[in-house]
Amino acid sequence: MLNVSPNRWFAAAALAGLAALALPAHAGKTLDAIKARGQVVCGVNTGLAGFSQADTSGSWSGLDVDICKAIAAATLGDAAKVKWVPLNAQQRFTALQSGEVDILSRNTTWTLTRDASLGLTFTGVTYYDGQGFMVPAKSKIKSAKQLKGATVCVQSGTTTEKNLTDYSKANNLAMKPVVFEKLDATNAAYFSGRCQAYTTDASGLASIRNKEAKSPADHVILPELISKEPLGLVVRRGDDEWATIVRWVVFGLIEAEEYGVMQSNVDAMAKDSKDPVVGRLLGTTEDTGKLLGLDKDWLGRAVKATGNYGEIFERNVGPKTPLALPRGSNQLWSKGGFMYAPPVR
């Protein structure tokens, strides 16, 4: 019988463990299916300006859209290889559960109930939001606390409906929800005067006001936010490899912003940067892609296709867009916001 000292045995086991950790990852069944069909199938909102909206030619744009494009660029090498599936609030989870879409990138709030009971996995937050109220400017209402007894338009199948009820009860406001299944019907009811107020995520209110109001200045978004609405990407549970890819594409876009890697300079930085972090991000010094079942250029392609997270934000919803949303909580952690990515290493 061969005698092996305990110290040598543990050392050998540790080395074997490290070797196993460094092995390239299997791509997973979802990515295999995506590569076979040549498209990422992305579930998006039916039409929310700044986040996901199609123009008259059928071309989609928005923050949620760009995230899906970045994922397509990272996995398939082409940001255009996306099939867009517009989904309303009631359809979205069923479409993902059934396999109709590979990913939900549709202003969806991460909650315990959704995370634990739907067979789905939230991979991270792409926009930190909160629920607010919009009222006609002529109403002279300055605070949500003035909405006692008011009729409030709200869409069903959302966290918004329950938040409204909770806020009304907690503040003894006796608000009267007027509930609609579809976004278009909710919008039409508010702008026709059927409701005294409209409630949804504050970013959504800004989008709706800009897109639907005859004169956006005639409508005011009240200052209170009555909830936390971390909006994020959702995938089916059971494919950890795909969830990891989706998670790290978003983290990579955030870290790219932090280290100054932009759509306009990604090639130059890959060639000239001496920063070890940039080298890892762009695959010039380390191949992080193999751990995801991708190649070494996965993140560089994503940034080149859509820009980093900050560029995506500014282009779609930032202060220079019609929505004019401030970075606020969606600023990098180093600048006072919540956007904090684990290191790509």
Q: Please tell us whether the domain made up of 29-129+230-335 is placed in CATH 3.40.190.10.
A: yes
Specify the CATH number for 131-227; select among 3.40.190.10, 3.30.470.10, 3.30.2090.10, 1.10.3720.10: 3.40.190.10
CA dihedral for 71, 75, 78, 83, sign (positive or negative): negative
Which of 92, 79, 94, 124 has its CA nearest to residue 245? 124
What was the pLDDT predicted at 12? 45
Tokens 């879409």 belong to residue? 101
Q: How many CB atoms lie within 10 A of CB 5?
A: 8
Residue 157: HSE in the Cβ half-sphere, 13 Å Cα cutoff: 14
DSSP 8-state code for residue 230 = E
What was the pLDDT predicted at 25? 57
Give the tokens for residue 29: 């069944």
Which of 127, 153, 163, 164 has its CA nearest to residue 208? 153
Distance CA 104, CA 42 (A): 6
What was the pLDDT predicted at 9? 45
3-class secondary-structure state, position 52: strand
Listed in sequence order, the residues at least 6 apart from 31 whose beta carbon sits closer than 8 Å to its beta carbon are 75, 241, 242, 245, 293
**Domain limits, CATH 3.40.190.10, in the chain:** 29-129+230-335, 131-227
3-class secondary-structure state, position 245: helix
Q: How many CB atoms lie within 10 A of CB 290?
A: 16
Which residues are registered as beta bridge partners of 178? 153
Give the tokens for residue 166: 């909770």
What string of pLDDT tens digits covers the 345 residues of the chain?
445 454 554 444 444 444 444 555 566 899 999 999 999 999 999 999 999 999 999 999 999 999 999 999 999 999 999 999 999 999 999 999 999 999 999 999 999 999 999 999 999 999 999 999 999 999 999 999 999 999 999 999 888 999 999 999 999 999 999 999 989 999 999 999 999 999 999 999 999 999 999 999 999 999 999 999 999 999 999 999 999 999 999 999 999 999 999 999 999 999 999 999 999 999 999 999 999 999 999 999 999 999 999 999 999 999 999 999 999 999 999 999 999 999 999
Distances in Å between the Cα of 41 and the Cα atoms of 79, 86, 279 are 12, 11, 31
What was the pLDDT predicted at 28? 86
What was the pLDDT predicted at 187? 96
DSSP 8-state code for residue 1 = -
Amino acid identity of residue 167, one-letter, is Y
DSSP string, 81-137: -EEEEEE-TTTHHHHHHTTS-SEEEEEEE--HHHHHHSSEEEEEEEEEE-EEEEEEG
Distances in Å between the Cα of 122 and the Cα atoms of 109, 142, 316, 331, 340 are 9, 35, 23, 21, 16
What was the pLDDT predicted at 158? 85
What was the pLDDT predicted at 26? 63
* Contact in structure between 161 and 177 (CB atoms under 8 Å): yes
